[in-house]
Amino acid sequence: MPEDELSRSSHSNTGKNLVNGIKTNPVSNSPKSGLSVPMGPPVYVDLAYIPNHCSGKNTDPEFFKRVRASYYVVSGNDAANGEPSRAVLDALLEGKSQWGENLQVTLIPTHDTEVTREWYQQTHEKQQELNIMVLASSSTVVMQDESFPACKIEF
């Protein structure tokens, strides 16, 4: 098949916009994204800090689909600015539900807030289904033979 014919046929492929079996949009229509981020395989990390104090300004389900962490730190403590954002906590559930693997995830809130308490209570069943554990803000974290309070994980 000639190269330009091959190129045209790939544009009509019904499987396009699939990455690891997940439907994606090459360019987001979301007002949040002014830039098109190239799709690629997910990134696996031990610990990820949810950007912007868990504000909905920069974090959506796509973040949790692409950045797969064993631990996510939620540091927001400013209700007036929507930190932490309920939408971001819900985005974690939505993003994790599309991983296709049931890896253990631990959410570490560094502050005890009304938003995180309500989210925890209202979505507890879904958290268990998705293998998500939420530490209390007074919890202790042990990493590489060192133990420290969860609230010390500030950047």
Beta bridge partners of 108: 73
124: part of which helix (H) or strand (E)? helix 114-129
Question: How far from 116 is each of 1, 28, 44, 75, 142, CA to CA, in Å?
Answer: 56, 28, 24, 11, 22
Q: Which residues of the chain have pLDDT under 50?
A: 1, 3-35, 153-155
Tokens 């069943």 appear where? 125
pLDDT at 128: 95
pTM: 0.64
Query: Average model confidence (pLDDT) for the chain?
Result: 73
pLDDT at 15: 44
Can you tell me the distance from the alpha carbon of 90 to that of 54, in angstroms, rounded to the nearest whole number? Answer: 11
pLDDT at 141: 66
Residue-range domain boundaries for the chain:
43-149
pLDDT at 150: 57
pLDDT at 138: 60
pLDDT at 140: 65
Helix, strand or coil for residue 9?
A: helix
What does the angle CA 131 – CA 79 – CA 53 come to, to the nearest 5 degrees? 55
